[in-house]
Amino acid sequence: MIENKSLWIEYKKSGSLEIRERIILQYIPLVKYVVGKMIGKLPKNIEYEDLVEYGIIGLLDAIEKYDITKEINFKTYSITRIRGSIYDELRVQDWVPRSVRKMAKDIEKAYVFLEVKNGEIPKDSEIADYLGITEKELNIVFSKVNMGNISSLDDVIYNSGESPTFLSETVEDKKSDGAQKNIEKKELKAALIERLKEITEKERLVITLYYYEDLTLREIGEILEVSESRVSQIHSKAIIKLRSKLIAKFGEYKGII
């Protein structure tokens, strides 16, 4: 159901700047909510105000492209674009060291290659051997990848047409409007649900506590009785396993990264 449907109809019909301003002001708190959920998982040198500005760009884009004939709730529709705009701008700013990005890509490729070759998720020792490093060095890489926040359920994995998809939405999307989903997104979700059954119980628990219970890595460490650094490694490993499943199944096309 569309909130303030008459307002949207009037705006789409007239293009009134006054109505547009009312809509923007109405949803600025939503932008701040999205930023508030994201900022704790980003490097500390990134400013809250900058993220809000990036999010507003996404909000403006959502307002212009929102199709009231599809009967999709604007809040649901715009959250995806707000987050997408923020991640797009962060990538443009290139705040993650390229060496860390390369590490993540190399590990991801190793998972894809070895799983396709052997028909099962590779062990840490196999990944390390493939990369020519020790298991200790591999764990250090996992920590760096997580600190750079480039292994995250909120990474965009698919972008086709009007609405990008995030890993977090494909794993669990209880509040999303069914009208937004297409066959390809359902296939992505099915692949990820399948993968969640294949990763370790501890990895599943970290994913659940971090993304759906909103606990910090430190709080999760206290629950699991391990260090924050160890939780960071488990998180990175779980996300890379999820992403590698998509690449192995769907390939690098259509924006899967």
The DSSP element (H or E) to which 169 belongs, if any, is: helix 167-171
Domain chopping of the chain, boundaries: 5-94, 98-156+165-250
Tens of pLDDT along the chain (257 residues) come to: 566 788 898 999 999 999 999 999 999 999 999 998 888 777 777 889 999 999 999 999 999 999 888 878 899 889 988 988 988 888 776 666 677 778 888 998 999 999 989 989 999 999 999 999 999 999 888 887 765 555 566 554 544 444 555 566 555 444 444 444 456 667 777 777 888 889 999 999 998 888 777 788 889 999 999 998 899 889 989 988 888 887 777 765 334 33
pLDDT score for 156: 45
Q: Let me know: does 38 contact 154? Beta carbons within 8 Å.
A: yes
Angle between helices 98-118 and 135-147 (to 10 degrees): 120
User: Look-up: residue for tokens 């998809």?
Assistant: 165
Mean pLDDT, all residues of the chain: 80
Q: Cα torsion at 97, 88, 29, 14 (round to 10°)?
A: 160
Q: Let me know: does 143 contact 229? Beta carbons within 8 Å.
A: yes
Instruction: Count Cβ atoms within 10 A of the Cβ of residue 216 and give its class: 0-12 exposed, 13-18 middle, 19 or more buried.
Output: middle
Q: Which residues contact 173 (CB under 8 A, 6 or more apart)?
A: 181, 189
Angle between helices 48-65 and 74-93 (to 10 degrees): 130
Give CA angle at 131 (188, 166), nearest 5°.
20
Chain centre to alpha carbon of residue 77: 15
How far apart CA 9 and CA 163 sit, in angstroms, is 21
Which two structure tokens, joined as six digits, stand for 202?
């501890």
pLDDT digits over 61-100, tens only? 999 999 888 878 899 889 988 988 988 888 776 666 677 7
Q: Would you mind telling me the total number of residues written for the chain in this entry?
A: 257
DSSP state of 157: E
CATH topology of domain 98-156+165-250: Arc Repressor Mutant, subunit A (1.10.10)
pLDDT score for 173: 46
pLDDT score for 132: 94
Classify domain 5-94 at the CATH class level: mainly alpha
Q: Let me know: does 108 contact 243? Beta carbons within 8 Å.
A: yes
For residue 73, the SS3 value is: coil
How far apart CA 193 and CA 105 sit, in angstroms, is 22
How far apart CA 103 and CA 23 sit, in angstroms, is 43
User: Look-up: residue for tokens 């990134």?
Assistant: 46
Among 79, 99, 101, CA closest to 91: 101
Q: Let me know: does 157 contact 166? Beta carbons within 8 Å.
A: yes
Say what the pTM is.
Answer: 0.62
How far apart CA 237 and CA 142 sit, in angstroms, is 7
Name the residue type at position 221: G
